[in-house]
Chains A and B, each alone.
Chain A
Amino acid sequence: MSLLELKGVTKRFGGLQAVGHMTFGVEKGEIFGLIGPNGAGKTTVFNVINGFYAPSEGEILFKGERIDGLKPYEICRRGLARTFQVVKPLARLTVLENVMVSAFSRTDHRHEARAMALEATAFTEMEAWRDRMAGSLPLGMRKRLEMARALATKPELLLLDENFAGLNPAEVEKTIAIVRKIHESGVTILIIEHNMRVIMTISQRLLCMCYGEKISEGTPQEVANNPSVIEAYLGAAHA
């Protein structure tokens, strides 16, 4: 049984089909990459999994139970956390308070939430930034705050939405190390990423989508050499 399973998931906005008949499974313990050109519907897939949108058709199973139609906070409490591509810091709270908010999903006590937040900020190497207002963070740290916050909800599956976009090379290396560390701690990861070097190195399996449909799935090598993937990215002349 896969940890996360999508069965024929379709999401339509009026007449526009953003995601069509998406079927795939994420196995426990893997890093599964989701790639595709801009506008392919990757973030919509995340929004459907995370409960922001209910799918128009199809089923989503997490740990064998249907989660489609549940609210985002219910899905979070079942152990499925996400980060946002367009970062959403709670601007007028400090970094530590931001992470405490999410830690409160696992405890009712302030001191425990604080301890969990200290742990999550240490894990993502944000110790020096804990007392800064989240709204005043530079982009690289905002992306990292997204990860710290998601981690503090103690997820089994973590959805990472373009956590590498806009980072400088040093930050990219650091973030790869952190993602690996999260993975080694036993968290399964589903990741959307445009940086091909990153996604090729860290993910064990890849799925490429285009115009809302799956066009290829397999190991990074298989996907990269798939003619329809090359066509989607570079045009028919290169395929």
Chain B
Amino acid sequence: MSRSTLLSLGGLALLAVLPALVRNPYVLHMLILCLLWTVLGQSWNLLGGYTGQVSFGHAAFFGIGAYTTGILVKSGLSPATAWWGLLLGGLAAAAASALIGWICFRLRGPYFALSVLALAEVLRLVALNWKQLTNGAEGILFIPAFNSKAAYYWIVLALAALSMAAIRFVMNGKLGFYFLAIREDQDCAESLGINATKYKLISLLISAFFTGVAGSFYMNYMGFIDPGIVFSIHDISVMMILVTMLGGVATTWGPAVGAAIYILMSEAFRTYLKSGHLVFFGVLIIVIIIFFPQGIVGTLNESLQRRKRRLAAPLASGPAKGAA
């Protein structure tokens, strides 16, 4: 096992015993949100960061996951929703993504980004108006299955670890190479034997699946959703992009770091700056874009590599002399 795997497992074990030490439900709630946004950031990062297919409407998949769970519970079909039932939300989101991806990925450029944005808005309006199914603007309310926050903490921790491990695994194999190739140059990728439409679709399926699972978890944990919350452009779709960019696009740890910073900052701003919090949040984002254009993890990686190169320079002959 490599050192980084051991470190990750150690960190995971540490996080797993945290509820035994932290009894404060508010702190646990913050941690749960950080982990939930880690899952969301990871999902967006796979498609937008690694595969280069930017989505402005991942709330569509989040909302589908949340409503799948909400509707199932309301109709009494799925008692164990907080556990394996999360899968159903993910599968429903993946199915919807297959449809939109199959249509849009034949085109290049901004079509996909814009169609998903439109999809999220269409779904919000449908959820608002199809009252028999979704209960409209009143939303769906049910009593969460577990009383303790610790149970939810462990579930979302497992989700975060699982999504990270899954994406890491995918990125290490053939799929990962293909995703990166498509991001870098689609023409080139196709001439090297890659069916770009197919592999973009696979990336979208995985991404939408985890987003749907996260939406499903959100419904279970909060016990309440309405169309404006789960299909929100600025609170879900755009925040998924920001969390990823904050932490570092196309990095393993970026989404987790971005999620932690985003949740803690926005909570602190909301508490201390009251109604002015959005202004400061905006300033923070501008600062990060100017000083950490690669995101926090991306910028750190880069400076680490530069240092390593500088240290190694006197020893290595370098390719400049190595070949003509």
Contacts and interface: CB of A to CB of B under 8 A. Distances in A.
Contacts of A3: none
A88 B177 contact: no
B177 A101 contact: yes
Interface in B170-191: 172-174, 177-178, 180-181, 184-185, 187-191
Given A52-B187, A128-B323, A129-B319, A100 B192 contact: no
Interface stretch (A24-32, A58-66, A104-112, A200-208): A104-112
Contacts of A76: 190-193
A81 B191 CA distance: 7
A171 B323 contact: no
Interface in A114-152: 125-129, 132, 141, 149
B194 interface: yes
Contacts, number: 86
B179 to A, nearest CB: 10
B322 interface: yes
A91 interface: yes
A82 B178 contact: no
Contacts of A50: 191
B323 A149 contact: no
**Could you tell me the dominant secondary structure of chain B's interface residues?**
helix
Contact of A110 (B174, B192, B319): B174
Given A84-B188, A88-B188, A90-B181, A126 B193 contact: no
Interface residues of A, number: 38
Nearest to B174: A104
B195 interface: yes
B106 to A, nearest CB: 11
A73 to B, nearest CB: 5
Interface string A69-108: 0011100110001101000111111000100111011001
Contacts of B322: 127-129
B185 A102 contact: no
Question: Nearest 5 pairs between A and B by C-beta?
Answer: A128-B322, A105-B193, A90-B184, A88-B188, A76-B193
6 contacts: A50-B191, A72-B191, A76-B193, A84-B188, A105-B194, A113-B177
